[in-house]
Amino acid sequence: MISRNLGFKMSNNEIKKLKPGDAADLFSCCNLQFMAQNSLAAIEFLKKTISGIEKNLKSQVKLRKEFSMLLTTPGIGNILGLTIMLEVGDIGRFPKVGDYSSYCRCVESKRLSNGKKKGENNKKNGNKYLAWAYVEAAQFARRYCVKAQSFYQSKEAKTNSIVATKALSNKLSKATYYIMRDQVAFDEDKLFS
């Protein structure tokens, strides 16, 4: 509504900070003010609902130390951290980081012979929920982490946005493997050096 009717853009964070009374200051038309107030009320309602869901979920789950370590990773918040923690279980069942990354569907699945594609391995092996979680984490990380954004842009320049997102999700899955295994905080310099 803002860009269409007023000709400028506001970020999501700026919109989330608006109060219902601010809609009257932005728009001169009473119908636009009414719609803006309704949109802001919907945003507030959804924020409260999401917060309630997160609080209820955290009260029912036994949080392990890995959860607090996962939250240090850019792009991983409460829901993605819980998803990863619960779907992985014991990280010790993955002897190598590549096994974990493959289980998360973050690596390509194909067979090559003499540099020629001879088929695809089972692409559906692994955990689809972890695949989703790491792609979501990559999307958030590239928005809020400068080094992740730089990595994403360099990959995107060489290929396309989908491959760049999967490459970033693969990097994040490898980083979280070591975070959960060694129970250490995320180190941006180690990942993007």
Whether residue 173 contacts residue 134, with contact meaning beta carbons closer than 8 Å, is answered with yes
pLDDT tens digits along 25-82: 888 888 988 988 888 889 889 999 999 998 898 888 888 888 899 999 999 988 899 9
Banded model confidence at residue 124, pLDDT cuts 50, 70, 90: low
pLDDT (0 to 100) of residue 169: 93
Mean pLDDT of the chain: 87
- Is the per-residue pLDDT at 117 higher than 80? no
Average pLDDT over residues 155-181: 92
pLDDT (0 to 100) of residue 123: 63
For the chain, report the end-to-end CA distance as a whole number of angstroms: 41
Residues in Cβ contact with 189 at an 8 Å cutoff, skipping those fewer than 6 apart:
none
DSSP secondary structure, 46-86, as one string: HHHHHHHHHHHHHHHS---HHHHHHTTSTT--HHHHHHHHH
d(CA 102, CA 79): 22
d(CA 96, CA 98): 5
152, containing H or E segment? helix 146-158
Could you count the other beta carbons within 10 Å of the beta carbon of residue 172?
31
d(CA 30, CA 53): 35
Could you count the other beta carbons within 10 Å of the beta carbon of residue 84?
26
> Half-sphere exposure of 159 toward its Cβ, with a 13 Å CA cutoff?
11
Banded model confidence at residue 119, pLDDT cuts 50, 70, 90: low
Domain boundaries of the chain, sorted by first residue:
2-59, 65-191
d(CA 134, CA 49): 24
Name the range with the highest mean pLDDT among 1-5, 73-77, 113-117. 73-77
d(CA 55, CA 118): 49
Average pLDDT over residues 141-167: 92
Q: What percent of the chain has pLDDT over 90?
A: 43
pLDDT (0 to 100) of residue 97: 92
Strand stretches in the chain, DSSP E: 111-113, 116-119
Q: Which of 79, 100, 67, 78 is nearest to 175 (CA)?
A: 100
146, containing H or E segment? helix 146-158
pTM: 0.76
